[in-house]
A and B are shown apart, each in its own frame.
Chain A
Amino acid sequence: MKKIITCRFLKRNLVLVLLLTLSVSAFAQLKISGIVADAASGETLIGASVFAEGTSTGTVTDFDGTYSLTVDAADAVLIFTYTGYQTQEIKVTESKTLDVKLAAADNLLNEVVVVGYGSKKKVDLTGSIASLSAKDFEAQPITRVENALQGRTAGVQVSNTNGSPGNNARIRIRGTNSITGSGSPLVVLDGILGASLGAINPSDIESIQVLKDASATALYGSRGANGVILVTSKKGKDGSNVNLDAFFGLQSLPKKIDIVSPAEYARLVNEQLAVGGSAPAFFEEDITEFENGAGTDWQDEIYREGTEALTQNYTLSFNGKKDKIGYYVAGNLVDNEGILTNNFYKRLALRSNLDFELNDRMTAGLNITYSKEEALNGFASDLLFAPNASALIFAPVAEAFTADGTPTKFSPYGSIAVSPTASTFGRNDNRQTNNATATAFFNWKITDDITYSFTGGVRDVNATSTIAVASYATTGQTEANVFNSDFTQFQHTHVLGYSKLFGAKHDFGIKAIFEEQDSDSYGSAAFGQNLLVESVGINNIGFAETQVISSGQSAEAIRSYVGRVEYEFDDKYLFTGTVRADGSSKFPEANRFGVFPSVAAAWRLSEEGFIKDLGIFDNLKLRASYGQVGNQAISPYSSLALLQTSPTAFNPVLDNTAPVIGIAPGRAANPNLRWETTTQTDIGIDFGFMDGRLTAGFDYYTKTTSDLLLFVSTPTYTGLGAVLQNVGEIGNKGFEVDLGYLALNREDLRWDIAFNLAANKTTVLDIGNNDVIFPGRGFAGSGSLLSRVEVGGELGNFVGYINDGTWNTDEESEAAVYGLQPGDTKYRDLNEDGVINEEDVTIIGNGAPDLIWGLNNTVSYKGFELNIFLQSMMGQDVFNVQRAVMMGTSGDVKTPTHGDIRDRWTPTNQDTDTPAFSSTNFQAPEDSRFIEDASFIRLRNVRLGYTVPAVKGFKSLTVYVSGQNLLTFTDYKGYDPEVSGAGDSNVDLGIDNGTYPNPKVITFGVNAGF
């Protein structure tokens, strides 16, 4: 018998058998039969499917709802599914009659979600909370948690603003509420506030909830204004399971930028010299040599692909529950080589989650995680020195390496920076971060109505980074720098809960929470310059001729009291009221405590008879909430008067040999600082139709953030610099749509569609006494400020000159008014004063998207599953500073490198915005011709998986191939419309200043359960 089965198996799965080592064990056959019926009415269900987990063995219930099945294992799990009903899994160990009652599918809404300081049934939610479970993102091979959120939840904008491996994505929930403060949401991992998403292995995650409206976020008071991401890690489940999740991906640069060839470039240099009346730099024989292959394609030189740019991820986990102890233990290894040479990200993450049932009223648990992250050269976003940027501006006529094998340093043509090979190999920036967290839990059911829970956590983040700059890679001296920092955070949280059903219809719940969190940071830095022995580098800074050391300390604490009241009448009318009071050490005593209240109500219309009678809705719920949340937005000691904190910046030299210590005055005391407060109103409606196969959610919200903490510029002559004040106001308005549709649900063919869409508009309402502020940073060689914030404007506005092309030959006299000639750039003279100057600078674009959407399709047929995930942002511009620099507008590049220069003005090519080489031309990087529509639709992930049926030794086995970022539909001319050099900034959006592009990845993976 055994043999026969083995042979049949072999025939069917020969390849797999060859691939996998199978353990051959004894097994028996079980015969199971019974009736499948509706749990509520007891009616039998016709056509319900029954199959054994991990096998293709299955059947369908007949006219009487009966089934009969023979399975091959002693401990098989039978899965019962029926359209519109909840799936049930039942373990069988012996042949028997098994009658099954399936609950109606709307009970899927009985799904319990984490809401912060507890959990709640999804149907009873009054606030706006998006929920993801592991199965929502496990089809996507990701190493970062942010990517699990990307495009899957309406109103959550996740942008990979830098494609370097290991970089943090920029996350905004329902727009931006702050200008100078952080706009990033609060991350709560297993109850500990303030976790680092980058340190978490996505495979360890059970669920992610995103709290969006004020009713949901008010629980987090002064830290809730930017929304809250609750991450819950996996726990031990019944049985004993081993899972291996492994994939590797081949990465490549999605596209190349059009750059002139070495020969073309040499001719351009000559042409430019001729305009200045100088002799040519290249002779015809030089140019012939370039045509025959001399010179360098710098993009080919520094980018790598395929197996040279390999990304690998392995997670091995053990979980189970035995007696009263549950465990989940996992190890994760990520090794992600970048597409840029000499660039990687690595992560080792370990997790041990244990939980104990102490008795029938008490449970306790301990979660311990450790992660070590290391990134090499992944952080540069620099127009001149980042290799990816310098590859676009460095002279194509130069060679990559000198005769002795060292990278080329300079070229007299092109960029003023060092060569791409010099920055690739000669500027090494290594960052290591160790993150250890231990969290203890204790839950006590004091009475049937009263519960107490305790969460205590300690988190330690220890970071070391080193920077070494070789002599061939700097315009100055060799450098070796080391930075060390240590951050320790403690938290303890106490939740006392009371809940009781009075009569049959009045359901009351009260929670009182006390929480404290305090943290300490200490950092030190050692900086060495002019290294005696360059090869020793960072390993002994003592060999540096010049040494500078510094250190710093900071501490902060927050104490909080939270109360929440919940009331539910007849499962129809739901009410939630929350108040949180936070006291923060960052604020002076008078303003120390902030109180953040919220209320929310919901009406489950679908429970009303008149709606039930319509027979349309499985679920219909109206929600409304209003509340206030805060943002601390400032760093410790911001309210105190301080002398300058920089240890060396004010040291002069008075004897040519060594600096002496200078202490300069700094900012004045600022006793009036308070919290930024965001007031949010949300109205939402949730629908369920067609037995739950079609669900929809719609939310509309408005938010106003007042007391915005802004660095108000004082005139420079005051010496006070920018003074932090609570002066501004900013508004956000938007809507969100979520749709889920189970389009097909046949026995072996299933098609799930999930779609979400959100639009948000951020408007600046008040910035104090000013009409205009420039809180952004400078870009391009001259440090031009590209972003301007003004009352009535949107965040992310770009300013610059409007480019009307070039002056043509019959406009010679008009051009002369500006001291220009035909072929020069024609900027619009807005005030018509005959001069092009800063008064002609105006808004020329905006970097914030109007609309973001995601569309996820999953089609499964038998063991195959195809997932196609599209993500899109629309309506945003990118300021292509990189191209502006390549075109020579910033002065950092002598001769333009971008292919657009071929289209430069000539008397026979006058209809162009690329000016001729000219001694009279005035051009600036802040020019509307470099503003590009960066709307994109991206094939974020496409994955074809195959679940191999019943392999001996495996509980489950899935193999897949997947592609990320395979296609991007966009008009953007740069590498990647999604990047932005300003990373997490709230005001500098969509600025491509030599930013690392997101790679294209082809991934092969396997998920195996044992």
Chain B
Amino acid sequence: MRYRTLCKNLPLFLAVVFTFGACADLEEDPQGLLTPQTFYQTNEELQAGVFAAYRPFMEYYLNAQGGLTMLGGDDVTSREGSNKEPYRAFDRFTANPSYDWLKRHNWDVLFQTVFFANAVLNNFENLEQSFSRDALVAEASFLRGWAYFSLVRMYGPVPIIRNTATGEEPRSPESEVYDLIIADLEFAVENLPQNWLGEPGRVRSWGAKSLLAKVYLTSAGWPLKRTENYARAASLAQDVVDNSPFALLSDFEAIWLPENPNNSESILAIQSCDNCGDWQLANRMPFSISAEAEEGGWDDYYAEINFFEEFPEGRRKDVTFQTTFSGNISWENTSQAHPYYQKTRGFESAKISSLNAYVLRMADVHLLYAEAQNKADGAPNFAAYEAVNQVRRRAAGLDINTPDADVDLAGLSGDEFHAAVLQERAWELAAEWERWFDMVRNQIVAEATADREFDRELPLNPAVDVSNESSFEPYYYAPIPQNEMLLRPDWTQNPCCM
């Protein structure tokens, strides 16, 4: 009887279950998300891929921490106390790999640029060949080349990633990294347009050419010493000086005014924005490098006293440094007793800003040319003298094109000219994150450090000796960040921190 009841009702039960049953869908169908299989199908999509690679590129320049590893330069130093240990350590040649900033604001953003650029460089072939497609590919090539150039100068040998990384890559020697950089930038020079209408933040062919000149010049110095590249650097830089639409501005201050972005000296600059909905798109330098006690800034880095005191008087010095502070306090009487840089923060303090950050500006190319030509030919030619002298005249507040015997360099030997140009680069590009690399590639760290005002600056690592360049050699490269080394215990850490 009971079993009959069961049998009678079982079909009903099954019917209930199967009516409701299997109504849940176990196949995933993400509707708000993009997958690589369906993306990179149009130029617009490829362009969005390129734009993403600009983001870490921007981030690198908009943070003082991007200049962290350049504190070894004689132009910048940092303070005691606060949270400035990483800055201090690079200034004192005592850096260690554990700093979060070293990883986050340097290694990470640079490799992120590589990763994002690779997405474009590995997916553009879906699209039919066209000038506009290749221009996009060239932008990605430029950004990858720029990232590797920054990496190889900072860290030396680094892993080369062209496709999907496996995580097993060795640290490739500098020579291979330079080969990649040069190939990427040559492609960029060939395929980038002369202009991007209304988008001054995108790299143009002249930008790629200027960077390539700098790459060649750097590769001619330590460690590769490919001296044949001086000539290549000179020829590219000369092309930019002679033929590009860019030129030195007549007044040094005009370069730095926030209201004068994308001026004729600006070959490539980061276009920041302080009201674009994301503070990371804004330039944080006015916070980072203005005085904390006096102006509410963060004291990240400021000028070394000897560098400031040796700096030639004149228009350029007045614009470059802030020496008086609210209430007419002079720099000697500030909490940190150092002069501050004001040009690279657009004379603003303790705020986020829409100030552009220069990646490449014309004065840099002028000086690149002068240095490269002299080295390539053994002696400076007229154009080299003129290139550096124009920069010097402007610095003195004079007309750029009118020779002035008091200011102009003249009659120097090749070595004297080289030293003078390097010094000029130090003044002109002070706090622009160039000086340290100039010192390293020319191996003049000891010499440049010897003039430090030891009793008014942070103490140096006892292991370095200012009469002995080789004692600084272990500190030419920044340490590979700690977490990266933990994940690649097979790698050898850089000599600073073995």
Contacts and interface: CB of A to CB of B under 8 A. Distances in A.
B35 A559 contact: no
A277 B487 CA distance: 43
Given A476-B352, A644-B52, A664 B277 contact: no
B84 interface: yes
B112 A719 contact: yes
Given A662-B55, A717-B159, A527 B277 contact: yes
B402 interface: no
Contact of A720 (B5, B165, B488): B165
B266 to A, nearest CB: 12
Interface string A649-673: 1111111111111111100100000
A42 interface: no
Interface in B264-309: 271-273, 275-279, 281, 293, 296
B303 to A, nearest CB: 18
A447 B9 CA distance: 10
A942 to B, nearest CB: 46
B261 A656 contact: yes
Nearest to B461: A819
Nearest to A550: B32
B51 A584 contact: no
Contacts, number: 273
B30 A585 contact: no
Given A653-B58, A658-B273, A716-B103, A668 B164 contact: yes
B130 interface: no
A551 B52 contact: no
A643 B35 contact: yes
Contacts of A651: 51, 55, 278, 281
A476 B287 CA distance: 11
Given A412-B293, A447-B2, A648 B277 contact: yes
A492 B22 CA distance: 11
B26 A585 contact: yes
A551 B37 CA distance: 22
A586 B272 contact: no
Given A585-B26, A656-B356, A665-B115, A494 B17 contact: yes
Nearest to A556: B28
B354 interface: yes
Interface stretch (A214-222, A448-456, A980-988): A448-456
B116 interface: yes
Contacts of A584: 26
In this complex, the member of A273, A584, A639, A652 whose beta carbon has the largest number of chain B beta carbons within 10 angstroms is A652
Contacts of A551: 32
Contact of B17 (A514, A656, A919): A514
B276 A819 contact: no
Given A516-B23, A649-B55, A838 B96 contact: yes
Ranked 9 nearest A-B pairs via Cβ:
A891-B83, A719-B115, A662-B52, A718-B165, A654-B201, A662-B51, A652-B54, A664-B52, A557-B24
Interface of A: 273, 276-278, 410, 412, 446-450, 452, 454, 476-477, 492, 494, 496, 514, 516-518, 527, 529-530, 545-548, 551-555, 557-559, 583-586, 592, 636-637, 639-645, 648-665, 668, 713-720, 770, 772, 774, 778, 781-784, 819, 835, 837-838, 890-892, 894, 919, 922
Contacts of A658: 273, 276
B228 interface: no
B486 A548 contact: no
Interface string B450-475: 00000000010010000000000000
Nearest to A546: B277
Contacts of A558: 24, 26
Contacts of B396: none
Nearest to A588: B28
Given A643-B39, A644-B52, A716 B107 contact: yes
Nearest to B462: A819
17 contacts: A477-B275, A514-B17, A530-B275, A554-B30, A642-B36, A643-B33, A648-B277, A652-B201, A653-B276, A655-B200, A656-B261, A664-B116, A713-B483, A717-B165, A819-B459, A837-B98, A892-B83
A716 B165 CA distance: 10
Contact of B80 (A649, A655, A919): A919
Nearest to A714: B167
Nearest to B54: A652
Contacts of B34: 642-643, 663
Contacts of A894: 81-82
B131 interface: no
A419 to B, nearest CB: 14
Given A592-B26, A717-B158, A890-B83, A650 B51 contact: yes
Contacts of B337: 277-278
A276 B338 CA distance: 13
Nearest to A498: B6
Nearest to A637: B30
Contacts of A557: 24-26
A716 B164 contact: no
Contacts of A664: 49, 52-53, 55, 116, 119
Nearest to B488: A715
Interface string B45-77: 100111111110110000000000000000000
B287 to A, nearest CB: 9
A589 to B, nearest CB: 8
Contacts of A545: 275
Contacts of B50: 662
Nearest to B278: A648
B24 A559 contact: yes
B13 A496 contact: yes
Contacts of B57: 652
A641 B55 contact: no
B484 A661 contact: no
B195 to A, nearest CB: 13
A407 to B, nearest CB: 18
Contacts of B200: 654-655
Interface in B465-498: 481-484, 486-488
Interface in B239-275: 261-262, 271-273, 275
Given A492-B20, A659-B277, A552 B32 contact: yes
A774 B276 CA distance: 34
Contacts of B328: none
A715 B33 contact: no
Contacts of A517: 24
B339 interface: no
Contact of B487 (A410, A496, A714): A714
Nearest to A475: B287
Contacts of A450: 2, 5-6
B116 A547 contact: no
Contacts of A446: 5-6, 9, 13
A663 B278 contact: no
A738 B85 CA distance: 53
A652 B58 contact: yes
B28 A640 contact: yes
B31 interface: yes
B111 interface: yes
Contacts of A641: 35-37
Nearest to A657: B273
A494 B97 CA distance: 59
Contacts of B327: none
B33 A653 contact: no
Contact of B275 (A529, A660, A661, A720): A529
Nearest to A836: B96
Given A412-B293, A891-B84, A663 B111 contact: no
B199 A654 contact: yes
B406 interface: no
Contacts of A774: 483
A811 to B, nearest CB: 18
A717 B22 contact: no
B16 interface: yes
Contacts of B310: none
Contact of B28 (A546, A637, A656): A637
